[in-house]
Amino acid sequence: MRKLVKRAALSLLKSAGLFRAFENSRWRRGGVAILCYHGISLADEHEWDPSLYMSPEDFERRLEILKKRRYSVLPLGEAIERIRARDLPPKSVAITFDDGAYDFYCRAWPLLRAYGFPATVYLTTYYSEYNRPVFNTAASYLLWKARGRVLDGAKLGLRKSLDLRTAPSRQSAWLWLLAEAEANGMDAAQKDELLQALAAAAGVDYSVLLRKRLLHIMTPAEVSELAAAGCDIQLHTHRHRTPLDRGLFVREIRDNRERIEAATGAPAIHFCYPCGFYRPEFLPWLNTAGVVSATTCEPALARASSNRLLLPRFVDHANLSPVEFEAGISGFTLALRR
Ligand SMILES: [Zn+2]
């Protein structure tokens, strides 16, 4: 209900010309809306997690809005340089995708090309090499597939059963499962075996999931192909984690960068914090590692006054209606949140 009232109010404000006033304001001109996406569905992923996945149709509608309303979609590196030079064109936007899922390769990139929009992928590389479903997200997806049931722990080789009867119990079961995998020091192959067992219990054909490459990261060859076609590939750590130990943190950047640069032949100097998590001590570590910019998930426009290692982004997702998206990119809702 609140959501409907909010959308109706935004539609009214839009027809009153408020978004137009915002998008053409001097304030908006001084900033870039850096858009953040995760995945574009190959199948039903947006029904499982609309905060991570969007249908190709909804994503195309976003691109249509950017085109129709004449937004200036800039490559991320250029946007960052022009923020500093205070030389941004009107209505600046940059498009970023986190993780580098296979669905970016076959769903998002063809659409972006059709609209002539540049994009940056923040690629995590561990599951690019070990090309199997990403454990954390695939586990969540499979538990969703078995929603409403209780899965027998004994059959899964687990210490307890998984209660998936409600959304909160499913969330707890998922977190417990991740903690179990961690506590038992499971390696990637063992985690993959657990996924196979979960799929069998959920009635999902794991071989189909593998064939469709659901919840997979792009292979190094796919990354090379995209880079050659003009897609920008940047840093997101090798194992999708930001250790609090300096040495381990720097190793994450180094391992990630080596693989990206080998695949793209281009420098990887822009970074995105996995899960948007950051701490003040990361900033000097990133600086020493030669990282030029880093993005968070704090909702705001990136401006000359922003710390270049803490650039905010507008996280777009399937639960946002087109009018809410327009309110965001115009600067209106981002200004309200200040
Ligand atoms: Zn990520």
One domain, residues 110 and 155: no
Q: What does the alpha-carbon distance between residue 274 and residue 35 come to, in Å, rounded to a whole number?
A: 15
Determine the structural domain holding residue 174 and report its residue range: 135-212
pLDDT at res. 7: 86
Q: Which amino acid is at 300?
A: A
Helix axis angle, 322-330 relative to 56-68, nearest 10°?
Answer: 40
**Ligand 1 centroid – CA 13 distance (Å):** 34
**Ligand 1 centroid – CA 149 distance (Å):** 29
Ion ligand 1, residue ranges at CB < 5 A: 98-99, 274
pLDDT at res. 16: 78
One domain, residues 223 and 271: yes
**Ligand 1 centroid – CA 236 distance (Å):** 7
One domain, residues 108 and 200: no
pLDDT at res. 19: 86
Q: What does the alpha-carbon distance between residue 78 and residue 2 come to, in Å, rounded to a whole number?
A: 39
Assess contact for 158 and 271: CB atoms under 8 A: no
One domain, residues 164 and 240: no
One domain, residues 206 and 227: no
pLDDT at res. 336: 72
One domain, residues 102 and 10: yes
Burial of 298 (0-12, 13-18, 19+ CB in 10 A): middle
**Ligand 1 centroid – CA 3 distance (Å):** 27
Pick from 89, 57, 59, 85: nearest CA to 73:
89
- Rg, the chain, Cα only: 21
One domain, residues 58 and 203: no
Q: Go through 116-129 and write b for each residue having 16 or more CB atoms within 10 A of its CB, e for each that does not.
A: ebbbbbbbbbbbbe
**Ligand 1 centroid – CA 87 distance (Å):** 30
Last residue within a domain, chosen from 186, 212, 238: 212
Measure the N-to-C terminal CA separation of the chain; round to a whole number of Å: 25
Q: Is the pTM of this model over 0.85?
A: yes
Please name the residue that has the structure tokens 């498009």: 95
Whichever domain contains 57, its CATH number is: 3.20.20.370
One domain, residues 10 and 123: yes
One domain, residues 201 and 229: no
Residues found in the chain: 338
Positive or negative, the CA dihedral 230, 231, 232, 237 is: negative
Domain count, the chain: 2
pLDDT in tens, the chain (338 residues): 788 888 888 888 887 788 888 888 999 999 999 999 999 999 999 999 999 999 999 999 999 999 999 999 999 999 999 999 999 999 999 999 999 999 999 999 999 999 999 999 999 999 999 999 999 999 999 999 999 999 999 999 999 999 999 999 999 999 999 999 999 999 999 999 999 999 999 999 999 999 999 999 999 999 999 999 999 999 999 999 999 999 999 999 999 999 999 999 999 999 999 999 999 999 999 999 999 999 999 999 999 999 999 999 999 999 999 999 999 999 988 777 65
One domain, residues 66 and 187: no
pLDDT at res. 316: 96
Last residue within a domain, chosen from 212, 244, 267: 212
**Ligand 1 centroid – CA 88 distance (Å):** 28
Q: Go through 202-236 and write b for each residue having 16 or more CB atoms within 10 A of its CB, e for each that does not.
A: bebebeebbeebbbbbbbbebbbebbeeebbbbbb
**Ligand 1 centroid – CA 278 distance (Å):** 13
**Ligand 1 centroid – CA 271 distance (Å):** 11
Last residue within a domain, chosen from 173, 190, 212: 212
One domain, residues 95 and 148: no
Assess contact for 76 and 232: CB atoms under 8 A: yes
